Amino acid sequence: MHNVEASAYRVQHFEHAIACDLTESQVSSILHTEFSVQVRLTVTGTGAVLLNPNWDSSALRRRTEDRADIAAFHASLPGFQPTPLIHLPRLAAEFKVGRVLVKHEQERLGLPSFKIVGASWAVHRAVALRSGRAVAPRFGDTVAAAAALPAGTALSTATDGNHGRAIAHMARLLGLPCTIYVPSDLGAARVRSILAEGATVTTVHGSYDDTVEYAAREAMRHPEYLLVSDTSWPGYETIPAWVSDGYATIFDEAYRQLSDLAGRPSEFDIALVPAGVGAFASAAVRNLGRNANCDVITVEPVVADCVRRSLAAGTLTSVPGPHHSIMAGLNCGEVSRIAWPYLRSGVRGALAITDEEVREAMRTFADADIVSGESGAASLAGLTKLSRDPAGSKLLTKERTVLLLNTESATDLEAYRRVIASTAAAPQAGTTA
């Protein structure tokens, strides 16, 4: 149990509506248990924001290197365009802040997620390294380097959806074979999207973390595999660092768009960032708060809150799987080792949210004509939870500019439609249809 908060939950039996209060760790244990009787588990979190006791604003000065090369490479990708920064005045009024802005990663190179931004740069660097050639930061040079690789060279990675699809997409663009490893609970729609890129998909009967381990072992058994993972472990750190470096482009875009909106150079004051293994969150720490401090707040599923637990403990802490959350891209039980030093001192606070909280955030985004997947809407769910927390709400003041990182559009369209339709069919009291 966390020693920094007292979280209450309610569990209801399917037939008898027996209710009791449980700690977060007890809920996690229940969710990981096979029941012999049918139950419906309703989880509603009231947990406080964890304000990081090791936060150090100087961590926000560690900016990503090679920014010019990264930007030049992305600009050279055919069809690469900035994603929009959307101003939501209604939410700013609701949360009593100056601005609420959404960096909406609705589409990148035809993919409904931000992941291609990091994956493409990492593939570029990894292909150059494997080829042994000096490769300029231009996609045409990447194609030439890939053509010079030994026959049979293939890209590979483990994924819970978006990263694997991005790697498969890059493999297709480069004319390379690709093998993607997925956990057994990954939704069929996400698997089909990876297959549509021409990749071979191998299902691992275990959690995402089990899948990462399996992909690493397979890469050792098959020297022709070029593993491009977005998480790291001892002895495998360079390529995941390149993935995180690539995300700098997203923040560069956001700053330019904010300054255009304000009519002058401007800063973000607080950012809500969905966190899985922490690669993107560590990029946020390194790329926000250029001339002033920006409070980076991570948001995770309550059953896979490895970043929050690690921050609370002050050391890397894992959350055993399986992780049963609809936020597929965030169902990670271990923090990336290369991300941890940035997270440990650079994250201002951390939140864990339930599936129902993120469903409500998806509906709120939909009301603003923003299509958001489950993992992307975690940012808005986190802002809502932050605003209701006595300590966290003090970070939200009328002059502050809030950045929400909506990291994906609807990656599973049928699941998205079910979530959005659930309130349209049965509006809740106090809401408008």
C-alpha–C-alpha distance, residues 187 and 189, integer Å: 6
C-alpha–C-alpha distance, residues 409 and 105, integer Å: 7
Name the active-site residue from 141, 160, 305, 355: 160
The residues pairing with 211 across neighbouring beta strands, listed in sequence order, are none
- CA neighbor of 283 nearest in space, from 326, 304, 254, 317: 254
β-pairing, 295-301 vs 349-353, is parallel
The residues pairing with 204 across neighbouring beta strands, listed in sequence order, are 183
Query: Cis omega (within 30 of 0) on the bond before 322?
Result: yes
C-alpha–C-alpha distance, residues 73 and 137, integer Å: 5
- Residue 369's φ and ψ, nearest 5 degrees, are 65, 30
| Torsion, Cα of 120, 283, 82, 103 (10° steps) | 140
160 flagged as catalytic: yes
**Residue 57 tokens, joined:** 């604003």
209 flagged as catalytic: no
Name the active-site residue from 66, 69, 103, 115: 115
The secondary element (H helix, E strand) that includes residue 221 is helix 208-221
**Residue 349 tokens, joined:** 């606070």
Residues 6+ apart with CB under 8 A from 220: none
* DSSP-assigned letter for residue 132: T
The residues pairing with 401 across neighbouring beta strands, listed in sequence order, are 99
The residues pairing with 178 across neighbouring beta strands, listed in sequence order, are 155
C-alpha–C-alpha distance, residues 9 and 46, integer Å: 7
- Enzyme catalytic residues: 115, 160
